[in-house]
Amino acid sequence: MRALLQRVSEAEVTVDGESIGRCGAGLMILVCAMQGDTEVAAERLAGKVARLRIFRDEEGRMNRSVLDIGGGALVVSQFTLAADTSRGNRPGFSTAAAPEEGRRLYEHFAGALAALGVPVETGQFAGDMRVRLVNDGPVTIWMES
């Protein structure tokens, strides 16, 4: 699985003008299941995300996790993280998991993150979403399982 994490002071996703997910201080996580990914990969990624020390401690160092700060996560599916831009000008997405498998693994990742104690809200799988966030830092991290 692939994930793009952004440390945020707030984030929100809307569909048709309606807010369907939001978080305050914590993480905005864009997630893509790749062909061959498994539930184990989703759980491993969720564990790494929950324990990733990218939040400031009392001395201003990135030394605390989202769990340490009591932060939340907004998890949004984004198959375009599978983009292959090695040839031509149009990205290819053939390495992304099939939609049914992508949905299952996306939901499994969100559930695994919540099971670790991170309050999780989600976007709408395959939905036409609008995402608004305030990146804190800015801090943006690319992760793969």
Q: Which entry of 6, 55, 79, 122 is annotated as an active-site residue?
A: 79
Q: Which entry of 35, 80, 93, 140 is annotated as an active-site residue?
A: 80
Active site residue 80: yes
Q: Which entry of 78, 85, 95, 109 is annotated as an active-site residue?
A: 78
CA distance 74 to 35: 23
| DSSP per-residue string spanning 27-69 | EEEEEE-BTT--HHHHHHHHHHHHH---EE-TTS-EEE-HHHH
Active site residue 85: no
Active site residue 125: no
Residues marked as catalytic: 78-80
